[in-house]
Structure 1
């Protein structure tokens, strides 16, 4: 069977796209290798009716919703290669060597992130150290927090987090990344800046207690935020000829279309603005409508 659409990625964008396409009676397979970026997160916030939901619970609920539509299948499989088979068909090959043909492709595989180079930071990431203040700022409100950043986004993140806590320390982990004017602006608000390299984070069960610096200084903190470097987790967009923006996101139009005919993208993979569960889900819905619209126009030529 030739699919109407193959969705690569089982995050909120891919799931919502599958739901909308299923309701439009399109034959779809969603490929999900169960390695979402928010897997380390214990709760997801900012999604009305689902505020505080466990990501795995959200995923299970989404699968239940999608299961009502017989034309949509979910496969726990990783796509290894995508290529154009003909002007109107794409071939997808899984890691196991299985091949599928599809008329349209939706890339919703999210992003891969790298954390600051700090010893044992992964022990705290998703539990008391986070990347998005809109997602987790409320839970850390009015606490002594640390901002750990090795890139130019340090100042912006500090300014954002200041809404939730005024007790902030910006740590650049041995890097000189803040301009003199940025430093003055932050210090004017009582935000401390420490450029010394971090040698360790101390705490228990993922709950941060102290930040230890190379010079022996220890600072008590109960949580914090980090800036991460984000990259595409695969080469599908590049191999298909999709254009990327300056941040490395896939460029799409208002309906999720890329510059390559038949290829759509949605969610974090577009790096088109704030990253949040509800935004990714909305982008998946929008792209699905774009895909269905294109099919409709083709059928009435």
Structure 2
């Protein structure tokens, strides 16, 4: 096992938040290990949007360039490895185990482990996810505006999402995939704005490649559709926070303070796993801020005298 003196920081997750933090730390000459399993949440998305200077670029290309730039710093080590376990050692440092490269330790641990989307087991859904089945109008709504659009969602929060989506399209149908669980006020909102409501369960998603063509319903009907927004359940993308005892909130997100420290001192979270702002620009910004703050704390701790 590498000793805790080998690295100042271990970052688990080498996507946008993790690499942004790694760069900020590297430029402060901190010793950083980045462990990445190569399964980013947006791996099925062909284009990144709402990202200044890179609007429309492929996320895979952006990530590859980011890795290349971070790897150029000699104090950073990037390892393609899945972190399988984490715990705290008696000296206070954190040990992370991997299947591929053994174990490593560092005084501070940054979790950029993301979230995992739970896709419904409906034929065709996974194939279209991230391409013509999308989750965020700010990320993808501009490109599909004014097209016949579906919303796969149920519950009272349908009202909020419908109110948002009407900004991008007036041809909108809500698919509840079973009996609607919202009240009369939501139904009235849909009727008022001409939003369709389909409660028949969805049997399959008809598609050509990753492009949605329509929804096949359980009663045999096929409704043509090119765009579908879907709010699917999610959970933490890694078991490491739970292993370390990090608390989550009612949304399943890691609880963090103003400096993105979790409820476990010395463990920090950044990216999708601790915020509802699931955009690349936010991940990059948070990573840079956390990396800058932690490097400054480390530098000052080494150079300034400690008061008695």
TM-score category (smaller protein): over 0.9
Counterpart in the other structure of 2:236: 232
SS of the residue 1:253 aligns to: coil
CA RMSD of superposed structures (Å): 1.5
1:289-300 correspondence runs (5 A): 289-299=292-302, 300=304
1:48 Cα deviation after fit: 0.3
Q: Is 2:282 aligned against 1:279?
A: yes
- Report the equivalent of 2:115: 111
Structure 2 alignment gaps of length 5 or more: none
Please identify, of 39-48 and 81-90, the stretch whose mean Cα deviation from structure 2 is larger.
Answer: 81-90
Identify the match of residue 92 of structure 1 among 93, 96, 101.
96
TM-score, scaled to structure 2: 0.93
In the alignment, structure 1 segments of 5+ residues that lack a partner are none
After TM superposition, list the pairs within 5 Å mapping 1:123-142 onto structure 2: 123-142=127-146
Deviation for aligned residue 1:152: 4.8
2-structure distance, mates of 1:151, 1:293: 45
Deviations along 1:100-153, one digit per CA (max 9) or x if unpaired, are 111100000100011234322112112211111111101111100111124554
More moved, 59-68 vs 73-82: 59-68
CA drift of 1:284 comes to 1.0
Alpha-carbon distance in structure 2 between the residues aligned to 1:120 and 1:292: 46
Question: TM-score scaled by structure 1?
Answer: 0.95
> Structure 1 residue 162: deviation in Å?
1.4
Aligned 1:52-71 pairs, distance under 5 A = 52-71=56-75
| CA offset digits 1:170-216 (Å, max 9, x no partner) | 00101422221112112211111111101122221221122121122
2:245 alignment counterpart: 241
Would you say how many aligned residue pairs link Structure 1 and Structure 2?
Answer: 300
How far apart, in 1, do the equivalents of 2:58 and 2:217 lie?
Answer: 34
Q: Which residue of 2 aligns with 1:32?
A: 36
Counterpart position of 2:216: 212
**1:274 shift after superposition:** 2.1
Q: C-alpha separation between the residues in 1 aligned to 2:257 and 2:231?
A: 27
CA contact (8 A) 1:9 1:108 kept: yes
